Amino acid sequence: MDTGDPSASTGDEPLTGTDGDSSTGSSSSTGETDDTEPAPFCSDGAVDPGEECDQGLENSNEGACTLNCEAAVCGDGLLWIGHEECDDGNNDDGDACVAGCVPASCGDGFLFEGNEECEPGDIDDNQEYVCGVDCKWSPVVAAPRVVFLSSVKFLGDMSLYEPSLGDYSLSDFPDGGETGVLLADARCQALAALAELAQPSTFHAWLSDNNGTDTSNAVDRLHPNASPQLQAGYTLPGGPMIATSFASLAQGLTAAILEDEHGAIVNGQAYVWSNTSDQGEALGLVDGMGKPTSCESWHSSSPERSGQLGFATDAKTQWTDAGSVMHCGLANRLYCFQEG
């Protein structure tokens, strides 16, 4: 008989606590071992298939391994700190970031379109313009003059250093009774003639003494036009141009003077006798004893005297003034410039 007592009907239903206990009891199955390996992912520290690298938490778009687990390379558009100066994500060498991921600059061999007209030493197809150190075209008013580095070496008195003669002989170098800078000029003229360069008598040594005469300074013997706009440029025997004018020599060369009279590259250390500024004038320096550093105006091969040097491998200021001297008993090369 149903009494309608609510407690009676509640007793016929499962207790909540009992149901919860039953559920808790069944959870004992979670203690079973799951042998499923986690799926590999980039930055897990292991190089997985399809990944080029994985440095775990060290992955970075500024490091050697990117956030996509790809090895950093120049041209990927990501700046690898400490290894790249720029990275624009392309292989175009005509923009602001060129090969090697370095910023474009005048003289790097790449034409920065819209910012440079040319690269130093370039000559236009009509041979009318040459590119200067500022990457701008300048007109070639006069035919370029030839410049070379002597294949032969000379002592401080301009006497021949015989071991450097190569295929030449002593008889190939008549001195004409000259001494000092004029003997150096004769050496350059002999080399120009042996190499069959045009007008060999117009070559002079880039060499100055301290006598204060009208032939003491190299510029006085080369006779460049008084107007820089009308001066001839200078080229190596086999190219390229090294300067657009005599005046531009003071701005640095567009290429080092490392070709001999035949246009062959001179290898190894190449000091030259000079005592000449980038203006073509005598440096006027003296040694510790007050003696001019010009080997007694290029008349001495004594080890007790010294001569001012240039450094042929340099295209900046040291090409003519290396800031150092050498004693006059040693042998060095000469720069030979064509006048005009």
CATH number, domain containing residue 304: 3.10.100.10
Q: Which residues pair with 310 in a beta bridge?
A: 272
Residue 152, in any domain of the structure = yes
Do the domain assignments include residue 302? yes
Mean pLDDT of the chain: 89
Judge whether 286 lies within some domain: yes
Rounded average pLDDT over 11-29: 45
Of the pLDDT bands very low, low, confident and very high (cuts 50, 70, 90), residue 45 is very high
For the cut 90, the answer to whether the pLDDT of residue 32 exceeds it is: no
Residue 22 lies in a domain: no
What residue numbers bound the domain in which 297 lies?
Answer: 140-338
Question: Rounded to a whole number, what is the largest CA-CA distance in the chain?
Answer: 153
Residue 37, pLDDT score? 76
The pLDDT score that the predictor gives to residue 143 is 85
Whether 81 is in a domain gets the answer no
Is the residue at 194 inside a domain?
Answer: yes
Tell me what pLDDT residue 340 has. Answer: 87
| Position 54 pLDDT exceeds 70 | yes
Query: Domain count of the chain?
Result: 1
| Residue 66 maps to a domain | no
Give tens-digit pLDDT for 227-257: 787 789 999 999 999 999 999 999 999 999 9
Residue 8, pLDDT score: 44
CB atoms within 10 A of CB 299: 19
Task: Count CA within 13 A, CB hemisphere, residue 147.
Answer: 28
CA 21 distance to own-chain centroid: 82
Q: Which of 7-11, 76-80, 118-122, 223-227 has the lowest mean pLDDT?
A: 7-11
Q: Is the pLDDT of residue 6 over 90?
A: no
Query: By C-alpha distance, which of 99, 94, 130 is closest to 113?
Result: 94
Residue 99 vs residue 146, higher pLDDT: 146
As a whole number of angstroms, the distance between CA 7 and CA 196 comes to: 129
Judge whether 276 lies within some domain.
Answer: yes
pLDDT exceeds 60 at position 30 = no
